[in-house]
A and B are shown apart, each in its own frame.
Chain A
C-alpha cells in the first residue's frame, strides 16, 4: 500500500482519480476495518497535511468546522458547548479519550456509520463537498442518501441551537461507555415561549443502524404544545417508522423500542409500561458479628504493604515472558484450522520452508512423543494430524526472522481439508444421529448423584420452583494474551518460558508430547499477565517447543488478541435446570438438578468444572432429598476449560436465585428462608464427605442482613427512568482440587548465597500477589521481616513442585509449607548462627534483619542473614523442602472438597426503563476465609473477582455461529470498562477459624466471583419482580418484563 500526503485539496483529488484509493483523516477506523478482513487500498491518501481542513470558525448563525478537527478539540471548544450543546454532549459519549484525540468529525461523517450522524442530522448540519466537478453544498441527510463515493468533505456548517429548545442525545451501547452503538437517538424541539413546538427534529443512527430522520414522528409533534403531546402516539409512530437491523447482539425490535423510549423519555414524556414496582420489605436484623473488618488501606495502614513487583509493573520495566527480545530471536506463528470440523487430507509445507527467512516449519510429523494433551484426558492434538475439530485448532507452526515473514510463510502452507458435518449445540451433539467429534462419541462425561427420596420430597412440598439458568461462554480476557519464548541451551535442555499456571504439569505434558525426559525441560511461568484459569491448560507451549527444538534458536511467540479469541479457552457454557421444593415452614425438602455443559472440541478441565458445579448444587444449605445429573458434551465450538469459579459460580447463581424465588413463593424474606436452611457446624458436606470444621454461613448471612445497603433509597428514581433494588446471595466455595485428584503440594525454605531467606514455591505470579503472600507468610512464621524474604517462584529449575496455581489453593500451600518447614529451617538457621557466633543456638531467635538473643527486646542484631550466608559453604546453607498432599477427605465416590470458604454479596442495582440495562450502584462483599495474610492482595482478589462476575452477569458472552466466534476482539467482546464497575464497592473479612481447624487461611481467588451474579439477579427480582435466568442478562427480556402489565 502506498501512502501519499498531499498539501492541497486539488492535489488530493487528483491523486484519488489515478487509482483505487482511500482517504485517511485520523485513521482510527482503519485497523478495525483491516482486522475484519477489508482489503487495504492500493493508495492511502493522508489528508492530515491540508491545513485548510482543520479550522473551526464561528459566525452569527453557524459554526463552521473543518473536517479534520478532532473530536477532542471539538469537545473542548467553548463555541460548541455554548452554541451547539447537543453536539458537545454527543462528542462526550463517542469513543474513548485517546481515540477522540485522533478521530475527526469528517471521518465520523465520511465513514457513513459514525455515532455522531444522528446528532448532526438533528442539528441540520450542511456539508461542503469538493469533487472534480467543483464544490457543492448540501444537507447532511441528502448527502448520506447519495452514498457519495468520490470527493472530499471540506467543511461542516452547524446552525446554532436556539434558546427555546428541548434536546437530547442518547447513545445506547453494549456496555456503559466506550462501546459499539446499539442505537443512538437525537432530538430537538424548537418551541415558542408558550411551549408550542415550532420545529421538531428526531433522528436515529449509529453503528449498523442507518442514520435517519424520522419525519412522520416530527410531523406528529410540529404544531402541538409541549404540555399536550400525545406520547403514546409518538411512541407508536417511532416504533413503526424507525428502521433498524438485527445482528448477533441485539434484535431490530429491541433497537427500535429503546430508541423510541429514549426519545419519548428524553423529551419529558411518559414511557410505556408500568411505573409501580414491588416494595422491598426491610430485613429483620440479626445479632451483630464480632470481628469482621472492612478491607481498606485507611483502616489498615500498619498492615498495608506495597507488593514487591508493583514499581516495575507501573514503570513498564517488568519484562513479561512475551517481552523478551534478542537480535537472534525468531518469531513464531501458528497456523489455525479456520474451519470447525474437517478431515486433513494433506499438509504441504514445502513452499513455506523455501521462503527466505524461514528457519523452521513444524507439523505433526515433528512430534516424537504423544501427539495429545489435556489435564484430565489427552484428547487434544498438539498439532492436528488427521482431523481438526474447531476453527482454532493448531495445524502447523513456523519460526522466521520476523513476524511478516512468519505470516507470509503461514499463508504458503497448503492444507487440504475435507469438510465434516459440524455440531455446535450441546443438546444436539448428544443426539444419537449427531456427527461424532471424537471416537467415543460426544458425551465427554456423565455424572450422577442421589440421596434420599426426591419423589417423596416433592410430593410433600408446599412450594416448588423449577427454573433453567443459562450461563455464558465467558472469555478470560487476560490482558497479556498467551505466549512466551523458548530456547535450547548448549546441554540440550529446552527452556520454555511461557505464561502458565503450573510449571511442573506443563513440563510433564511437554515431556509427553516431545518424547523428552522431564529433566531436559525447564518451564518458567512467571510473571504471567493474568490467567484466571485460561492458562491452566497448555496454550502455545507445544508449537513453541517444537519450533525452538527444530530451529535451535530462541523463538518468541505471542498470540494476537484475535488469535487468542479464536484458539483460547473460554468458560464452559452451562444450562442448569433446577427444581427445588420447600415445605410449609420454608424448609428445603427436595432438589433435582440437571446440568448440560459444553466442552467445545476438547475436554481440558471441563469434566472437573462439571463435577465442581454439581458438588455445589445445594450451596450452603441442607437438603435431604437430592438428585443431580450432569453431562458434558463435545461440540465444534471453541475449547472451554478452567475459569475462576470453576462451575461453582454458575451453580451458585442457580441456587441463590432459587432461594429468592422460593422466598417470594412462601412469603418469607430472603434472609429468613436462608436462615431456616443453613448448614450447621459439624455437618457433612453436600456429598456426605468430611469437611473442615469452620462453618461461617450463619455469620455471612448475619453480615448481609445487617448491611447498611438495605437502608439506601430503593424504587423508582426521581428521573423516572431507573428502578433501584437490592439483592443478596450467599457463597460457598471449595478450595483445592478435591478428594480423587492427585494434589501434591510442597515448598522450600532456604538461605540463599546473597543472604535472603527464600520461600521457594512452584506456583505462579499471575497478578494475584503470590510474591506478597510468600513474603508475608514466611516473615510471619519465622519472625523475620518481609524484606528479609525473597520469593522464588514459577520456575521448575529453581522452585520445588507445589502443584497448580488454581482452585484457590496457592494461599494454603504457601502457608502450610511454611509452617511445616519452619521449625526445621529455623533450627538449622539457629545452629548455623550459633556456630558462627559461638553461642547456644537455643538462645538465638530470628528477627527482622537477623538473629537476636532470645527473650531480649533490645533489638540488637547479633548477626544478619547476609553475614551468616557469607560465613557458610554452599552445602551448609540451611534449606528445608517439604512435600505433602493438599488436605483432602477420604471420599472416593466422586471428587469432593474438604475446605470451603464462605461469603455473602449484596448488590444495589438500577434498571433502566428506557433500555432494560442494569447498572450496579453498590456492591458489598462479606467473606470468611480464615486469616488475611496480606490485606491488599486479599482485597484485590475480592474486588477483581467481583467485576469479573459483573461482566459474566451483564455484558460478557462469546456468541458463535457455525463454529465461528462472532466477537473476534475487544471491540464487541464486552469486558467491563471502568464505567461498568460499581459506583461503590466495599469488602469485608471475618478471619476467625473454628477451634481445632488446622487448615489455616483459605484462598480467596474464587470467592470474589461466586455470589455476585445471584446478588445482582436477586436485586433485579426485588426491584421489578422479574428474575433474570440467562447471563449475561438479555436487556431485551428485562425491558419486556418492565413493559408487562402496562
Chain B
C-alpha cells in the first residue's frame, strides 16, 4: 500500500504494509530516530508526534491512517518557535536525566501550550498524563513546563 502524507513540511509517499506503525516507519524505514519507542502500545508517550496538530502515539498510528495527514515529528519541531521556548525552559531546569522520554514530553507540552498558553500546574499534570518518565520523579519536568509557560507569557506581553 502506498500512503501519501506530509512529514515535517515535505510531501512523502511511502509503500509499506498498511498496518505498519508510524514509529516503525520513522525509526526503521526513514532512520528518523528522534522519535523514541519504549512500549509500542501507547502507554508511555515516548513516540508522540503531532498529526494534524494534535498529539498522537506513533506506535498506535498505522500507516493507512496517515493518508493525507500532516505529521510533525521531533525533528520537525526545530522550526517551531514555541517548541524552541519549551526546549530552552526544560534545558535550563535540567528537566531530564537519561532523556529517552524527553522528545515525547516536549511534544505533549507543545500541544498543551498551543491550546492553553497559561496552564496551571494542574493543567500541566493533566496534559502529561500519557507520558512516563522513569528517572526524574516528574517534578523537574513540571518546573520546566511552568517556566516555559512563564516564558510564553513574556513573549505574549
Contact = CB atoms under 8 A, between A and B. Distances in A.
Task: Answer yes or no: are A and B bound together in one complex.
Answer: yes
Interface of A: 1-3, 5, 27-28, 30-32, 35, 40, 44, 46, 48, 72, 92, 95-99, 101-102, 177-178, 297, 304, 306-307, 309-320, 323, 325, 331, 402-403, 476-481, 527-530, 532, 560-562, 766-769, 936-937, 939-940, 943-948, 969-971, 975, 977-979, 981, 985
Contact of B91 (A97, A99, A311, A944): A311
B42 A318 contact: no
B143 interface: yes
Nearest to A532: B134
B34 A943 contact: no
B94 A936 contact: yes
Contacts of A403: 24, 28
B33 interface: yes
14 contacts: A2-B18, A28-B57, A97-B111, A97-B112, A315-B74, A316-B103, A325-B28, A331-B28, A402-B28, A479-B134, A480-B36, A530-B98, A947-B136, A971-B41
B50 to A, nearest CB: 10
A970 B54 contact: no
Given A975-B132, A979-B129, A943 B98 contact: no
A981 B138 contact: yes
A691 to B, nearest CB: 30
A1 B20 CA distance: 11
A981 B137 contact: yes
Contacts of B125: 978-979
B60 A479 contact: no
A627 to B, nearest CB: 37
Given A3-B1, A102-B56, A977 B40 contact: no
Contacts of B134: 476-479, 530, 532, 944, 948, 975
Contacts of B65: 27, 46, 48
B96 A316 contact: no
Contacts of A978: 125, 128-129, 131, 133, 138, 141-142
A972 to B, nearest CB: 9
A490 B141 CA distance: 45
B86 to A, nearest CB: 9
A319 B100 CA distance: 10
The residue among B108, B127, B134 with the most chain A CB atoms within 10 A of its own CB is B134
A320 B100 CA distance: 8
Counting chain B CB atoms within 10 Å of each CB, which of A46, A102, A306 scores highest? Answer: A102
Contact of B135 (A98, A767, A936): A767
B150 interface: no
B31 interface: yes
Contacts of B38: 479-481, 561, 970
Contacts of B90: 310, 314
A177 B31 contact: no
B7 interface: no
Given A44-B19, A943-B137, A970-B41, A97 B55 contact: yes
Given A314-B103, A316-B75, A985-B139, A46 B64 contact: yes
Interface in B45-79: 45-46, 48, 51, 54-57, 59-62, 64-65, 67, 74-75, 77-78
B54 A944 contact: no
Contact of B127 (A97, A310, A480, A560): A97
B13 interface: no
Contacts of A99: 42, 57, 60, 130
A599 B46 CA distance: 31
Nearest to B86: A314
Majority secondary structure, A binding face: loop
Contact of A98 (B48, B97, B98, B138): B48
Contact of A310 (B35, B39, B45, B99): B99
B44 interface: yes
**Interface-centre pick from B21, B90, B102 (highest chain A CB count, 10 A):** B102
B97 A944 contact: yes
A561 B28 CA distance: 17
User: Taking each of B1, B95, B132, which has the highest tally of chain A beta carbons within 10 Å of its own beta carbon?
Assistant: B132
Which 7 A-B pairs give the minimum distances between C-beta atoms?
Answer: A316-B34, A96-B130, A313-B99, A767-B98, A947-B137, A767-B97, A529-B100
Given A99-B42, A325-B33, A27 B100 contact: no
B66 to A, nearest CB: 11
A1 B103 contact: no
B14 to A, nearest CB: 14
B8 interface: no
A138 to B, nearest CB: 30
B140 interface: yes
Contact of B39 (A72, A323, A325, A970): A970
Contact of A479 (B41, B54, B92, B101): B101
Nearest to A923: B137
A804 B87 CA distance: 32
Contacts of B103: 314-316
Given A970-B38, A971-B43, 9 more contacts: A3-B18, A46-B65, A97-B127, A313-B98, A313-B102, A317-B34, A323-B27, A480-B38, A944-B135
A697 B137 CA distance: 25
Most chain A beta carbons < 10 A, residue from B42, B45, B108, B132: B42
Contacts of B102: 313-314, 316
A178 B21 contact: no
B82 interface: no
Nearest to A297: B93
B132 A970 contact: yes
B64 to A, nearest CB: 5
B62 A27 contact: yes
B40 to A, nearest CB: 6
Nearest to A529: B100
A538 to B, nearest CB: 20
Contacts of A304: 94
B83 to A, nearest CB: 9
A98 B57 contact: yes
Given A40-B19, A99-B42, A323-B33, A529 B111 contact: no
Contacts of B33: 316, 319-320, 323, 325
B157 interface: no
B113 interface: no
Nearest to B147: A297
Contacts of B149: none
Nearest to A558: B37
B131 A310 contact: no
Contacts of A331: 28
B137 to A, nearest CB: 3
Nearest to A5: B64
A178 B98 contact: no
Given A320-B100, A479-B44, A768-B97, A97 B129 contact: yes
Contact of B55 (A44, A101, A481, A940): A101
B39 A561 contact: yes
Nearest to A98: B55
Contact of B136 (A3, A72, A481, A940): A940
Contacts of A530: 97-98, 100, 134-135
A772 B27 CA distance: 29
Nearest to B121: A983
B139 A101 contact: no
Contacts of A96: 45, 129-131
A312 B125 CA distance: 24
Contacts of A30: 19, 60, 62
Contact of A1 (B18, B75, B140): B18
A28 B21 CA distance: 11
A192 B138 CA distance: 47
A314 B98 contact: no
Contacts of B140: 939-940, 943
Nearest to A987: B139
A561 B23 CA distance: 14
B31 A560 contact: no
Interface in B99-122: 99-103, 106, 108, 111-112
Contacts of A2: 18
